């Protein structure tokens, strides 16, 4: 068991958590498919995101693969892309604007919004500036969707962070019943939801192997 004060939640874990608690725990507690996650991260860092028109406005700065952290929530990770907009109402004269780039077809708006919001919470702490808004960029549809980071979304995000802390601190992998979404989960072969949450009992399997054997049956 780890002391709760030592655990840090990866920004990417929140999306996994909202998709499926077991998936999040398999990746972040069991560290299954570590290499695949890392490979994916590497690809992310090397791939330049081409956002139409994002450099068009004067004074707008774009940073990629920005390392983020939030001490208060013990949250750490990277943002694909953070824009810094000029903003006269900000004490610093500019305002961070996280943009989460979605390559795959959208699975869950809530999961994407929570991940974006978590980035915003990090940016607020790191820059000391309020971040009221961000955007999701859907590569497939070539569309940018503005997300208001309101109180409800912030509460949902903090709740997800707390739950992830709990799983990490307990080293716990919850058993989850098989669901339709399992079809789209790349961890399904390792998770084996039909085995762990299903009715398959190893003791029955063993009993069949032993007791149904008739020494006289030799054909």
Partner 1 sequence: MTTALNTLFITVEGTRLNKEGERVVVTVKDEKKAEVPLRHLRSVVCLTRAWMTPELLESCVEAGIHVSFFGVTGRFLARVEGLPGGNVLLRREQYRAADDGGRTLAIARAMVVGKVSNARQFVLHAKRDAAAEQVPSLEDAARRLAEHLRAVGRAEELEQVRGLEGIAARDYFEAFPGLLKGGARRFGFDGRNRRPPRDPLNALLSFGYALLAQDCAGALAGVGLDPAVGFLHEDRPGRLSLALDLMEELRAPVVDRLVFSLVNRGQLKPEDFKEEAAGAVMLRDEARKAFLVAYQAAKQVEVQHVFLGQQTSWGLVPHLQALLLARTLRGELDGYPPFAVR
Segment near partner 1 (CB under 8 A); pick from 52-60, 88-96, 127-135, 202-210 = 202-210
Q: Residue 75, SS3?
A: strand
We find the least distance from the C-beta atom of residue 182 to partner 1, in angstroms, to be: 14
**Close Cβ partners of 213 (under 8 Å, ≥ 6 residues apart):** none
Interface with partner 1 includes 9 (CB under 8 A)?
A: no
Question: Could you give the string, one character per residue 177-196, with x where binding to partner 1 holds by CB under 8 A and - elsewhere?
Answer: ------------xx-x-xxx
We find the least distance from the C-beta atom of residue 90 to partner 1, in angstroms, to be: 41
* Size of residue set near partner 1 by CB under 8 A: 35
Interface with partner 1 includes 38 (CB under 8 A)?
A: yes
Tokens 């956002």, residue located: 51
Cα 58 to Cα 86: distance, rounded to the nearest angstrom: 9
We find the least distance from the C-beta atom of residue 7 to partner 1, in angstroms, to be: 13
Q: What does the buried/exposed string (b/e) look like for 160-174 if buried means 16 or more CB atoms within 10 Å of the residue's CB?
A: bbebbbebbbeeebe
Interface with partner 1 includes 37 (CB under 8 A)?
A: no
Tokens 């996650």, residue located: 37
Complex with partner 1: residue 4 or 175, whichever CB lies closer: 175
Interface with partner 1 includes 13 (CB under 8 A)?
A: no
H-assigned helices in 84-170: 109-127, 151-170
Complex with partner 1: residue 4 or 206, whichever CB lies closer: 206
Q: Residue 149, SS3?
A: coil
Site residues for partner 1, 39-58, by CB under 8 A, read: 39
**Closest among 82, 89, 92, 180 to 128, alpha carbons compared:** 92
Interface with partner 1 includes 203 (CB under 8 A)?
A: yes
H-assigned helices in 143-218: 151-170, 188-191, 193-196, 202-211
Interface with partner 1 includes 146 (CB under 8 A)?
A: no
Counting other chains too, the contacts that 58-61 makes at CB distance below 8 Å and 24 or more residues apart are 59/85, 59/86, 60/84, 60/85, 60/86, 61/94
Interface with partner 1 includes 218 (CB under 8 A)?
A: yes
Q: Which chain residues interact with partner 1 by CB under 8 A?
A: 29-35, 38-39, 171, 173, 175, 189-190, 192, 194-196, 200-203, 205-207, 209-211, 213-219
């Amino acid at each position: 068991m780890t002391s709760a004060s030592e655990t840090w939640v990866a920004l990417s874990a929140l999306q996994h958590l909202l998709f499926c608690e077991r998936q999040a725990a398999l990746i972040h507690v069991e560290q299954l498919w570590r290499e695949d996650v890392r490979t994916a991260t590497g690809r992310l860092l090397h791939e330049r995101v081409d956002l139409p028109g994002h450099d068009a406005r004067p004074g707008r700065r774009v940073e990629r693969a920005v390392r983020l952290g939030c001490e208060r929530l013990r949250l750490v990770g990277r943002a694909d892309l953070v824009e810094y907009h000029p903003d006269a109402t900000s004490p610093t004269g500019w305002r961070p604007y996280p943009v989460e780039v979605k390559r795959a077809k959208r699975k869950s708006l809530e999961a994407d919004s929570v991940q974006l919001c978590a980035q915003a919470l990090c940016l607020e702490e790191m820059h000391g500036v309020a971040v009221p808004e961000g955007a999701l960029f859907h590569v497939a549809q070539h569309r940018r969707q503005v997300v208001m980071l309101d109180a409800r979304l912030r509460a949902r995000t903090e709740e997800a962070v707390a739950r992830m802390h709990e799983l990490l601190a307990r080293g716990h992998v919850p058993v989850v019943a098989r669901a339709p979404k399992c079809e789209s989960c790349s961890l399904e072969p390792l998770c084996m939801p039909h085995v762990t949450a299903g009715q398959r009992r190893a003791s029955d399997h063993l009993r069949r192997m032993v007791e149904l054997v008739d020494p006289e049956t030799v054909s």
